[in-house]
Amino acid sequence: MKRMFKGGVHPHDHKVTREAAIAEIPMPGEIRLSLSQHIGAPASPIVAAGDRVLKYQTVAAISGYVSAPIHAPTSGIVKGIEPSLHPTGRFIPAIIIEPDGEDEAMDTLPNADPEYARGAETWKEMVRDAGIVGMGGAAFPTHVKLNPPEDKPIDMVVANGVECEPFLTADHRLMLEAPDSILSGLRLAMEMVGAKRAVVGIEANKPDAVERMVNADLPEGFEVSVLPVMYPQGAEKQLIYALTGREVPSGGLPMDVGVVVQNVGTLAAIHEAVTFGRPFVERVMTLGGTLPNGPGNYRVPVGTPLSHIVESTGGVAGPAARIINGGPMMGTALSGLESTVTKGTSGLLLFGPGDFRELRPRACVRCGACVRGCPASLMPHTLGNMVEWDLFDGLTEFNINDCIECGCCTYVCPADRNLVQWIRQGKAELVARSRN
């Protein structure tokens, strides 16, 4: 049964790259593999300057339960391990590889199971060893999600094909071009968590993807659900409510209501890892906005400099006033193109000076629009005020950690208040205090 979640907004979708088939880009002259491409402990490097590495070789090992290893996306020489600009704006150690142009892969890929004979427990290890993380943006290690505790039985896996962020079309293209890989990954995920049902959730603005999925060979227990177009329909809690009516409790996780959600790109990566033993070394992302001369959807090696993506697809039509990593609602602004593609990079958007209204933050007029628009039933104006006035102690009482940072409050605020930015700042302050 489909329901509408509370709140949300309806921005123009600007999906101008929806017709652009997934294309390759040339290998860059340098790959920079950040050791921190996922939520959790950074990976530990196991190569050194001067080593020659092969495509798919593990170059950084998993370093905790919530962590993920990193693999070379091509063959080449390790130039060193140095701090490198990360999309978060911080300098984080990265393994620098100079590709040798051979693209020589390892002879035998460990862990391939093309007959699907090894069973769920081994597949979870294969997913872990392949370094797969959530590709919808959060980059949470997938093997952890596929390993819920015994007291959290899972009855449904949801394939998240919503892609509700404006401009982004990478998941849409993947559903059109690789539906069988997604469904294979979904079947594997179901078996890994012991679920009997699977639902592919797709927004109604992708009728061709719905048709492709419905016409694919859907196994028993699978269904495709077409959802109304509303942002943030693709957020896990909102998607689960829309599909099942189940409400993930405050501070809880989807597993608390018997559901595991996986992005369609992540499911295709699970298929690649189990069927062919291929680790996560590349992903599909959208290059968009108003400036790129070659907007489209590209399959890009992890570690590719963003500047290389722009240059190798035709450059830009003018100076960029805004560069966004991800989508315009939940993405982060970048100061330039010096950082690299990570496993969580869903898009790169470039906009010119005339594309944005100048924001002039003013005092709250108590209109309540942010409360009505909040899909997490929070009071964004109160949270914003508390952070602005350094009243951090009460933030937890107002459930700040239930904020999914969707940006709906900022989007609707007539006073241009930086609500989501303050809330992010407040969450970061609470994390910092908990460590002291």
- Residue positions counted in the chain: 436
What DSSP string describes 209-236? HHHHHHHS-PPTTEEEEEE---BTTTSH
Nearest in space to 196 (alpha carbons), one of 124, 136, 259, 264? 259
**Distance between CA atoms of 432 and 315, rounded to whole angstroms?**
40
Closest separation between CB of residue 251 and ligand SF4, Å? 14
In the complex with ligand SF4, which residue's Cβ is closer, 28 or 326?
326
Among 85, 264, 369, 387, binds ligand SF4 (CB under 6 A): 369
Among 370, 386, 387, 395, binds ligand SF4 (CB under 6 A): 370
In the complex with ligand SF4, which residue's Cβ is closer, 198 or 240?
240
Closest separation between CB of residue 294 and ligand SF4, Å? 32
In the complex with ligand SF4, which residue's Cβ is closer, 178 or 378?
378
Would you count residue 374 as binding ligand SF4 (CB under 6 A)?
yes
In the complex with ligand SF4, which residue's Cβ is closer, 287 or 376?
376
Q: How many residues bind ligand SF4 (CB under 6 A)?
A: 29
Among 243, 380, 386, 426, binds ligand SF4 (CB under 6 A): 380
Closest separation between CB of residue 270 and ligand SF4, Å? 29
Cα distances (angstroms) measured from residue 324 to each of 167, 221, 306, 347: 11, 39, 11, 8
| The one segment of 18-26, 137-145, 274-282, 375-383 that binds ligand SF4 by CB under 6 A | 375-383
Are 144 and 260 in contact by the 8 Å Cβ rule? The answer is no
Compute CA 387 distance to the chain's CA centroid, rounded to the nearest angstrom. Answer: 27
The two three-digit tokens of residue 54, written as one number: 């092969």
Would you count residue 364 as binding ligand SF4 (CB under 6 A)?
yes
What DSSP string describes 2-63? --PPS--B------TTTT---EE-PPPS-EEEES--SSSSPPEE---TT-EE-BT-EEEE--
| The one segment of 29-37, 122-130, 155-163, 362-370 that binds ligand SF4 by CB under 6 A | 362-370
Of residues 385 through 424, those in contact with ligand SF4 by CB under 6 A are 403-409, 412-415, 417, 419-420, 423
Of residues 26 through 65, those in contact with ligand SF4 by CB under 6 A are none
Among 85, 135, 376, 387, binds ligand SF4 (CB under 6 A): 376
Closest separation between CB of residue 223 and ligand SF4, Å? 28
**Distance between CA atoms of 124 and 357, rounded to whole angstroms?**
47
The identity of residue 394, as a single letter, is G
The identity of residue 317, as a single letter, is A
**Distance between CA atoms of 227 and 242, rounded to whole angstroms?**
8
In the complex with ligand SF4, which residue's Cβ is closer, 109 or 415?
415
**Distance between CA atoms of 333 and 284, rounded to whole angstroms?**
20
Rounded to whole angstroms, the maximal C-alpha distance in the chain is 65
**Distance between CA atoms of 133 and 273, rounded to whole angstroms?**
12
Would you count residue 378 as binding ligand SF4 (CB under 6 A)?
yes
- Binding mask 309-348 toward ligand SF4 (x if CB under 6 A, else -) reads ----------------------------------------
| The one segment of 47-55, 74-82, 294-302, 361-369 that binds ligand SF4 by CB under 6 A | 361-369
Would you count residue 359 as binding ligand SF4 (CB under 6 A)?
no
For ligand SF4, the binding residues (CB under 6 A) are: 364-370, 373-376, 378, 380-381, 403-409, 412-415, 417, 419-420, 423
